[in-house]
Structure formats: structure tokens, C-alpha cells
Structure 1
């Protein structure tokens, strides 16, 4: 595949921020984002929203970072280093979502810097990572700021109450999500097990674009959603259009799924480390 251009030595790379939770098992969250950033030649910036207690078997608990610290991380980085794109992951609560949205606006980033919102509601094991009361904040505060939102089918059901079972319901879900205010919606089809492919659907309110790839037969797919969103944000920071950034992210996560490895007793992570061998 064609990668993003790597920076020359001693030149400043593009800067992309992840606003997300930490995964103690290293498979998803900030850890997955930073692997993708590094292996795409991007300088990763971080605003930690929560610290999870998890391993390959699931999430045992999490601790939310104080709100002033979350806002402070965004403000400190944006006012000094600069942010050329960002993505969100685990935000955990209404208060955190409101804080992130407020800091984004206060720094003048809204509408000026591409923002990929990965609306993380639960882990791949079904462990909750977002308080149910926070769904309204997610829809009302963060979605209108998003350049693109990237829900999986479980998240689609929680956010807009649409059960995606085929192409028609996937389009219905995209329309319902777009009505919440993001510029673009990417309804990921990786959980659509009736298909031998992994069909993703992109919608801008007018036109549908389809992206698919062969379904990779692996039980090790921890962090796939984070990795896709991080790759899309990295491409946007390089000036890609949203459709081109999504196409790049789709190719990247597919290769990361091919390279996934076992870890612990449960689900291993998708792996961006394959690029080290190329």
C-alpha cells in the first residue's frame, strides 16, 4: 500500500492528538493510537481522559482523569505545539465530553482542525466504557464538532437505535447519524457477520461512498477501531480529503489485522508493527 510521507530527519512531523483513555494491556486506546502515529511518521500528542485496568480478557475498571487536567492537556499542547488533526476515543462521562468540547472550542480548533470522533461506548468484550447518561452529551456536544464520526455497529445501535443487518439499514444508520451534526459519517461494517467482506459506508449528507476489504479471519482484533481512527486523523493532518483519508485508514487497519498477534489469554491486538519489516 502507499503510505503517508515520512518526515526528513530534524524536520517537524505533522502533529496529531489523541484524546482518549489509556489501556494497561497496550492493545487499544492511546497505546494503539501512538503506535499508528509513530509508524506513519506522525508526532503524537496526548490528552488522557481515563486510565483503564484491563488486559486481553477485558476491562476490570477505570479511573476518570480530573476535568481540569483533561482541559489543561488540550490547552497546553494546542497553544504551544499546535494540532493539525485529532481523534477522540474513550471519554467515559458527560462531564468529560463537555470538557473536551469546551476546550476544543476555546482553543479555536472547532472548524479549523479536523476532528475524528470514535464514539467508544464499550470494549470489544462488552465492558462499558461510557456512562449511559453520556450519550446525549456525545450527540449534542461532540458530534457537531466532528469532521467524521466512526461508530461500529454496536455503537450505532446505542446512539441512533438502528440495527444494521444489511446495506439498506446501514444507509438508514448513516442518515440518522449525519442528522446529529457531523460533517461526515463512517458506519463501519466489521461486525456485519452476514458478509464475507468488511463493508464500511461513508456519508456526507448527500452522497454515499462504500469501502470494503476482505474479512480477515483472526480472533485478534483488539484496538482495530482506534487504529482506523488514528490512521484517518493522520491522513487528514497531511491534507487528504475525508474520502481519501478513510480509504487510507481502511487499507491501514486491514494490514494491521493481517499482522495481528496473540497476547495473553484473550484477544490480541491488531499490529502496526508490520511496517518495521518493510
Structure 2
């Protein structure tokens, strides 16, 4: 019998389908992992921005996590938009109660258009309750600056930020370099508490990058659910998101979503021309 690997995303719903649980579930499916979700908030958003956020009640989130924990044991779990201290505490409590391992924290704080997705007072709760439980934390540069309270301008700064986040409890840290538009390369940094691994891809000049962080961390989660090593999971995720950005869909008037089909189409040898999905 074929093994079925399962991954859980605890995140917000994106009505535009480019980020949040929609992006996570698409990514899980593309990487041959059964996806489950616990919704923390419902957002009204599209490629132009976030128009409204409607947080789930504590009971609603707790019941979702209890239902999954009582029947569908995930092989890996990721968090995305958690919004409030109360939600963060519930997630931490349930992760510990069910002894869920392979926890990936994507510290979603700001939407692509600049809208805040995490209340200011909840940032310390991420550090206090979630990072000590994390196998991997995957901040982009602005998120790493918020978590560490430092400016990140150089590769040395990234190493220092990764070290600080590791000291907060996360066993591995991936500092993503996509926001550094001073270079033609996107340089991501993986830190395991002892050594640094740099991974580079060519920067794609496009505005269609909505959901890249969610998709990247979801790909890591899917690979870990299948039992791959952390380094292999991050490397596969890097290839997955590069393909998703390169073979852009080109939809929406603002920051459009990435192409979750692209990686598997490439694996099958299918040729895809940008914008052919319009």
C-alpha cells in the first residue's frame, strides 16, 4: 500500500487564492502530500490588496485543531497568518498537546500591498510561544528585522539575524532574500545553529509574486512530511518557488499570484510559456 503523507496548514484564507491556505493546499497537492487546514482568519483580498480581515473565534480555531488531532495525524505542520496573541497561544497549546513535530513557522506579518496581518502586540507572542516549538522558521527580510529588532542590510546582518532567531528556539532558520532588490540574485540563507548554507536564484523582474512566502514554506512543509532532510526540503522549495515565479500566470491588476502548476509541469517535461493561462 502506498504511504499517504499528510500536512496541516494553520493560516488565513485568501479569497483571491494566491496566498494563505489556498496557496498552501495547492502546494501540498502539487508535491503529492494530502493537505489539511485550520483557518485562523478569513480575508477579503485580491491582487490589489487586503480589503478586510475577519478573525476566527477561539472556539472555531480550537475545534478545527482538535478535530484534526483526534483523527488525522499530520506528518508536518506549518503556520501562516495567525493575527493575534490569542490565536498564537491556542496554536502553541495544540501543537504541544498533540506533539506535532516538523513545525514550520512562516511569521506572516505584512501583506504584499503593505497591510498588516499580525497585530503589533502579537509579535512577542510568536517569539515566546511558537519559536521554541519550531523546527524551521522562514522570515523574509522585513519579518526578520521585526523579530530581531535589527536592520538587515548585508549578508553578515542576515547571518546575525538567523543566529538570534535560532537562539529564540527555532532549530533551523531560513532567512529569505527576495526583498533585497539591490542585486540580480535572490540569496536565501539556511542556518542550523552551527553553519550557514547560501542558496541563490536569478531574480525575476515581475510584480506577480503574491503568496511567494506562503508557497515557499508550504513546499518545505510538504517535503518534510515525506521524510526528506531539512536541507533537501529547502532546496526543493527553492526550485518550486522559482518555477512558480518564472512561469507567471499574469492575472490580476496588482500583485498577481505565482503559478503553483509550474514545478510539476517542468518535472513532467511540459513546456510552459508565461501568461498562457490567461
Q: TM-score range by the shorter chain?
A: over 0.9
- Determine the structure 2 residue equivalent to 1:198: 186
User: What is the CA distance between 1:263 and its match in structure 2?
Assistant: 2.0
Q: For the residues of structure 2 that align with 1:276 and 1:195, how far apart are their CA atoms?
A: 29
Partner of 2:19: 28
1:42: which partner in 2? 33
Q: SS where residue 41 of structure 2 aligns?
A: strand
Tell me what 1:70 maps to.
61
After the TM superposition, which residues 186-225 of structure 1 pair with which residues of structure 2 at under 5 Å, given as runs? 186-225=174-213
> Match for residue 120 of structure 1?
108
Which aligned segments of 4 or more residues in structure 1 are displaced greater than 6 angstroms?
none
Q: Specify every segment of 5 or more residues in structure 2 that has no aligned partner in the other structure, as ranges.
A: 269-278
Matched, 1:163 2:151: yes
Equivalent residue number for residue 163 of structure 2: 175
Aligned to 1:133: 121
Shift of 1:78: 2.1
Report the more deviating stretch, 188-197 or 118-127.
Answer: 188-197
Q: Distance in 2 between matches of 1:40 and 1:22?
A: 20
Q: What's the TM-score, normalizing by structure 2?
A: 0.93
Q: Offset of 1:12 from its aligned partner?
A: 5.2
Q: Is the 8 A contact 2:112 2:255 kept in 1?
A: no
DSSP 3-state at the match of 2:15? coil
8 Å CA contact 2:162, 2:173 repeated in 1 = yes
CA distance in structure 1 between the partners assigned to 2:150 and 2:200 by the alignment: 21
Higher alpha-carbon deviation: 220-229 or 161-170: 161-170
Alignment of 1:76-155 (within 5 A): 76-109=67-100, 113-155=101-143
Kindly indicate whether the alpha-carbon contact (under 8 Å) linking 2:38 and 2:64 is maintained by their aligned counterparts in 1: yes
Contact 1:259 1:272 in 2 (8 A): no
| Deviations 1:188-208 (CA, angstroms, capped at 9, x unpaired) | 011111221110011111111
Aligned to 2:45: 54
Query: What residue number does 1:5 align with?
Result: none
* Count of residue correspondences: 266
Q: Aligned partners of 1:134 and 1:270: how far apart in 2?
A: 28
Ranges in structure 1 where 5+ consecutive residues have no aligned partner: 1-9
- Corresponding residue number in structure 1 for 2:271: none
Range moving further from structure 2, 156-165 or 52-61: 156-165
Distance 2:198 2:243 in 1: 19
Q: TM-score, normalised by structure 1?
A: 0.93
Residue in structure 2 matched with residue 4 of structure 1 by the alignment: none
Q: CA deviation at 1:264?
A: 2.0
Report the 3-state secondary structure (helix = DSSP H, G, I; strand = E; otherwise coil) of the residue aligned with 2:26: helix
